[in-house]
Structure 1
Amino acid sequence: MTSTTLTRANSETVTGNRSDPASRDSASRDSAGSDFAALSRRIVAAGLLKRRPRYYVMRFLLTDAAFAGGWALFAWVGDSWAQLLVAALLAVAFTQVAFLGHDAGHRQVSGSRRFSEVLGLLHGNLGVGLSYGWWMDKHTRHHANPNHEERDPDVGAGAIVWTGKQARSRRGLGAFLARRQAYLFFPLLLLEGLNLHVSSVRSLRGLGRHRRVEAVLLAAHLIGYTTAVLLVLSPLRALAFIAVQQGLFGLYMGCAFAPNHKGMPVLTAADRLDFLRRQVLTSRNVRGTAADLLLGGLNYQIEHHLFPSMPRPNLRRAQPLVRDYCVQHGIEYRDATLIQSYRQVLRHLDGVGAPMR
């Protein structure tokens, strides 16, 4: 790895040995394969991979009730500009429902594939209008190769570029965006909800499993959503409601996922890291008491990437075990507050766009 790819020292890092992983001696590399196995045994012994059915029953009941309550409030408020406040509440509800779909997809809720798929389809396709199959494919590839320049779809070039190579390939409007992307990052997230919906619909052609079911549920969501909005609101207020609700939904989703890997080391085909180091070195945790609720457990990104099926409430308990283990083995373990994580993301985006200026 290059020094630009793996930037080390900062005040928010909990670390053991700060040396570049690629420069470790061969004896250290030979022993690396057993490092995750030893950590995994500790996690299993602590009972942290056991299901938490009571937690998830309550979580689903409360989240789904809040989602339904948001739509009930929408119907009660009627044709009023106060609906813009309801739109903001529903944006939060949509994101929390999406978090449940994420947990179901990782089988954190249940070990049953079928039951997990039912939960994912109902909360993803029908609930918030996102294709569960498309997301599963994309997210699985991300987990296998986090922050890999060629293999992780989450760092693929889009409206935002994440590497210098991507930035140099831009022309015209793309180059304009790359030069100013640190300033445009949060405004562009307002379009992320629309992007997710469009990507979900476009993915239907390539889906094999449950293709018809996904299409029907996505259509039911779109028809139900637009019908409800147009029946209750005048055309102008309906447009404003959709813009606010979908814009804030995209912003919230983006703000929840951005701190996890953005601004962290980007890997290439030249990098050779074992599973433990590949997951830890490319991930960042977010600390703070409010982060658990706001980020749906994604604030424990390191633990989540190491143990994707670990139930959300167990991630907090696993965190000190994983951190101490990483320190003992000289593996950088990074965490930051939510604000600090956004600053790191913006610094990275500014640095990537700098040569274009």
Structure 2
Amino acid sequence: MGRGGQKRDVIASDRSRAGSDVLTWAEISRHVTNNDRWIVIGGEVYDVTEWSKKHPGGPRLIGHYAGQDATDAFGAFHNNGDHVRKFLKPLHVGSVEGYTDNDLDKDFRELKSTAVKMGWFQPSYTFYTLVVGHVVLFQVLTYMVLHWFDVTWWSVLLSLACFTIAQSQAGWTQHDFGHLSVFKHSWLDHGVHHFLIGIIMGASSSWWNHMHYQHHAKPNVINKDPDVRLEQLFVVGDEMPKTVAKKKKKSMPFNLQHKYFFALGPPLLYPVYFQIMLFRHMITRRLWNELTYSMVFYISYIYLFVPKLGFFGAVAMYFAMRCLESHWFTWVSQSNHIPMTVRSDQSLPWLVMQLNATCDIEKSPFNDWFTGHLNFQIEHHLFPTMPRHNLYKVAPLVQSLCKKHGIPYTVKPLLQSFVDIVRSLKVSGEMWKEAYEEIHS
């Protein structure tokens, strides 16, 4: 008998042993491979093996919860949970034996219910009109500055500043629509998302979804969060340095990573890595519609700026902007995560996992604008579909809940959070060196 037949027999025997469709966690935890995936939502077990291939968030996202309780992850990602549950009915396998919610889960879900009742999941369309409007304004000013004035060093720098602001703020804004937190209707949010990330930024919405939703599902979890798949260049946390030291005899000098981070991290993430990966994603997956959106950006840029700056000047302008944008994005996004806990999957409760991996940055008008309200990273990770302008409102309730259950809740000044990135890289690099020398001496 082939392996496929053996696997089907194993699954059949599992269900037979379940008897009255009551399954133990020991049974459920065996179904964790690409060809055999079970997840738990609200104490009910579902076989998502085939469905995961059709899942809008991609097979990896739902696969990260194979053999685990995905109740709160399911609630966090779906605005219309009742509607989605209809698709789960044919996938139902059984119920978890003795399934009960613990006090932490109950309190968290009660907190979310309170936030819903308070209207904090409802967007302000005035806010988003202004946010999208100021992105378009700076994008237009990027060209108009060169049109109104002669091409001089100061007009080019002013245009570059407008370009960087437009692209960086478009990045924070597309993030909201990508999470379906504005219109609450998939096709409307996806439409604006395509406009912002494709036509305004020249990138791919599905590539962003593929990467970012995995990050949200398992933040700072090794081998699951793509944002910490860094071992080719960096080691982070206290587990990865030791693992990399054991596997590799020759590698990067990670003990110096806090120094070469300034050359390889923020300056090159957008201009090199993202440029390669997003086009690779669109072409290999034949996403011709998204490639068309992105080409609108590049063709319009060439049409508008080559006559003003010349071909090489326009190319230099573009990559200078991407380098500045990359700095902006990297320092902000990593300030909330890299200094926090990075480890392998431990199937932690949703609240605990998110608090281990995220921290907040102090609120101020500048910090709110500069980070796209991702200074409230804790709240955003707990409630990814909550409009960003309401995140500060739910923060006191999250702090109270964390205090009740003894869960650390970290808030930092903006500059301190940047310093902590470098400091954590230094600590992790020293851990790698110590482990490497001990193993390979």
Equivalent residue number for residue 15 of structure 1: none
Matched, 1:313 2:385: no
Q: 1:147–1:155: 8 Å Cα contact kept in structure 2?
A: yes
Matched, 1:192 2:280: no
CA distance in 2, matches of 1:250, 1:77: 28
Q: 1:323–1:333: 8 Å Cα contact kept in structure 2?
A: yes
Equivalent residue number for residue 171 of structure 2: 98
- List aligned pairs for 1:1-357, cutoff 5 A: 30-82=102-154, 83-157=156-230, 158-162=232-236, 163-165=240-242, 167-168=244-245, 169=247, 174-176=251-253, 178-187=254-263, 188-194=265-271, 195-207=273-285, 211-235=287-311, 237-269=313-345, 271-289=346-364, 290-354=366-430, 355-356=432-433
Shift in alpha-carbon separation, 1:302–1:257, aligned structure 2, 3 A = same
CA distance in 1, matches of 2:149, 2:242: 50
Secondary structure of 1:73's aligned partner:
helix
Secondary structure of 2:233's aligned partner:
coil
Q: 1:258–1:345: 8 Å Cα contact kept in structure 2?
A: yes
Shift in alpha-carbon separation, 1:77–1:192, aligned structure 2, 3 A = farther
Equivalent residue number for residue 49 of structure 2: none
1:87 Cα offset (Å):
1.1
Give the letter for the 1:197 counterpart: Q
1:222 Cα offset (Å):
2.1
1:101 Cα offset (Å):
0.6
Secondary structure of 1:296's aligned partner:
coil
CA distance in 2, matches of 1:108, 1:206: 29
Question: How high is the TM-score relative to the length of structure 1?
Answer: 0.84
Equivalent residue number for residue 21 of structure 1: none
Shift in alpha-carbon separation, 1:279–1:98, aligned structure 2, 3 A = same
- The number of residues matched between the two structures is 325
Q: 1:186–1:251: 8 Å Cα contact kept in structure 2?
A: no
Secondary structure of 1:63's aligned partner:
helix
1:207 Cα offset (Å):
3.8
Shift in alpha-carbon separation, 1:73–1:332, aligned structure 2, 3 A = same
CA distance in 1, matches of 2:242, 2:306: 45
CA distance in 2, matches of 1:111, 1:231: 42
Q: 2:141–2:159: 8 Å Cα contact kept in structure 1?
A: no
Q: 1:286–1:336: 8 Å Cα contact kept in structure 2?
A: yes
1:40 Cα offset (Å):
1.0
Q: What 5-or-longer segments of structure 2 have no aligned partner?
A: 1-100, 435-441
CA distance in 2, matches of 1:206, 1:148: 27
Question: How high is the TM-score relative to the length of structure 2?
Answer: 0.69
Secondary structure of 2:170's aligned partner:
helix
1:78 Cα offset (Å):
4.5
Secondary structure of 1:242's aligned partner:
helix
Shift in alpha-carbon separation, 1:88–1:62, aligned structure 2, 3 A = closer
Q: 1:104-154 CA deviation, whole Å, 9 max, x = no partner?
A: 001121111111111111110111122111001111111000000110001
Q: 1:107–1:309: 8 Å Cα contact kept in structure 2?
A: yes
Q: 1:131–1:200: 8 Å Cα contact kept in structure 2?
A: yes
Identity in percent: 26
Give the letter for the 2:433 counterpart: M
1:302 Cα offset (Å):
0.5
Q: 2:178–2:209: 8 Å Cα contact kept in structure 1?
A: yes
Q: Identify which of structures 1 and 2 has the higher relative contact order when contacts are C-alpha pairs closer than 8 Å and 6+ apart.
A: 1
CA distance in 1, matches of 2:323, 2:177: 25
CA distance in 1, matches of 2:248, 2:173: 36
CA distance in 2, matches of 1:322, 1:230: 51
Q: What 5-or-longer segments of structure 1 have no aligned partner?
A: 1-28
Secondary structure of 1:217's aligned partner:
helix
CA distance in 1, matches of 2:141, 2:324: 18
- Specify the structure having the higher radius of gyration (Cα): 2
